[in-house]
Amino acid sequence: MPYPSDIPWESESNGQRLAALRKRRRWTQRVLADRAGYSLAAVRAFEQGRRSLDQGSTILTFSRALDCHPTEITGQPLAPRDDASQDAAVAVAAVRRALLRHGRPARPDDEEVTRIDIAELSERVGHANALRASASLVGTAEVLPALLRDLQVACDVLDGDERRTACGLLAGGYECAMQYLYKMGHSAAATLATERVVQAADATEDPLRMTAARWYEAGEFLSIGEHHDAADIIDQSLKDLGHPRSPQQVSLQGAFHLKAALNAARATDHGTAERHMAKAKAAADALGEDRNDFQLQFGPTNAAIWSVSLPVEMGRGRDAVRAAEHVTRSLPADFSPERRSHHFIDIGRGHWYNGQRDDALASFLEAESIAPTATRMNAGVRETVRTMIRQQRRSQLVELGMRVGAL
């Protein structure tokens, strides 16, 4: 379960938390508007819940103005709302302990040493990441603590090439932990997991593995609005990749262009975002197939999904919905449920920006049908649904609001 200090007062909206943070600084709405670069009317609309405060770039702008972490506005982590969410949360403390213990002596007993099997560990890491990609937060929670322990023991006991292989697997385990913690809303622990990904990857001495870890590192800087640092990491990684020759290199190059596009969109540099998105699509076309190198799921399908996500990040609802018409028709039914559910969340937000309330609700319900727990734990869904309910109370919408914690 989350630590008591982590559990927010969930009856508050993002706008109400924004108002509380402003008052903590003894600022008027006018002062916040001036410092954030928004109109006074916009600040009032956000604080009063008449305007949804769900867009990443807007949240980052206010968090920079208030010198707070974005999660102080979004209210994460959310307290579990149902049995599945509670089951998914039970491993948070154990995973956090494992992350803290990285690099410390494992002190394994004889049985732990005897059962070290690189092939089996590789299968378990693949299984954990498959659970994560299938949006099974409960399943991920069930396997992660023991897996991280066994991987840390292997890295502590083995040496030479075997140790480097084990460290690569440990990096994969930490990537899974990072995604799990991020989805559960534990941003500080997710940041620690990202640091561990980088450290474990560096221990492999594999240039591609080390570069892939920087993709996650760039994401950490992006998430707190440090766009220049994120861009520096991305640019250096693309430089290190040079002219890709192998499918793995092309996959990494494309994934970094996607990250660069998101970073630019959050920084409201829409021209740069579109240029990187075009380069990502070109890499996906060159690759010609969906791959999952370093758990990045890069390929034509994911690039297409991002072509919907990016307009949403830029507040362009019409562009997002227009792009989604083609993407949704061609979306493989067996593609990652995690990514498919996020696609429908993005479509829902795009419809909402267009004032298409019924279509927005239908898209959120579709996302929930694909990945129930992950959708209900999504802060953007909760905030948008809360604003929708404020404007129009309907039974189906209210029921969804109860499940996502908007009521």
Q: For 196-212, what is each residue's pLDDT tens digit?
A: 999 999 999 999 999 99
- Confidence band of 133 (pLDDT split at 50, 70, 90): very high
Q: Indicate the residue type of 139.
A: G
Fold of 1-75: 434 Repressor (Amino-terminal Domain) (1.10.260)
Check residue 3 and give its pLDDT. Answer: 37
Contact call for residues 118 and 165 (beta carbons, < 8 A): yes
Q: CATH number for the 315-407 domain, one of 3.30.1370, 1.10.3210, 1.25.40, 2.60.40?
A: 1.25.40
Other C-beta atoms closer than 10 Å to the C-beta of 204 total 20
The contacts found for 287-291 with CB under 8 angstroms, 24 or more apart, are 287/247, 287/250, 287/251, 287/254, 290/332, 290/335, 291/247, 291/248, 291/251
CA 165 from centroid of its chain's CA atoms: 27
Separation in Å, CA 152 to CA 95, 156, 245, 401:
12, 6, 33, 41
The answer, yes or no, to whether residue 7 has pLDDT greater than 70, is: no
Q: Which amino acid is located at 308 in the chain?
A: V
Q: Which two tokens stand for residue 26?
A: 């003894």
pTM beyond 0.95: the answer is no
Distance CA(195)–CA(214), nearest Å, equals 10
- How far is Cα 149 from Cα 276, in angstroms, rounded to an integer? 39
321: tokens are: 């919905």
Per-residue pLDDT reduced to its tens digit, 164-179 = 999 999 999 999 999 9
Spatial CB neighbours of 354, under 8 Å, sequence gap ≥ 6: 317, 318, 321
In terms of phi and psi (left: phi > 0; alpha: psi -120 to 50; beta: otherwise), the region of 116 is beta
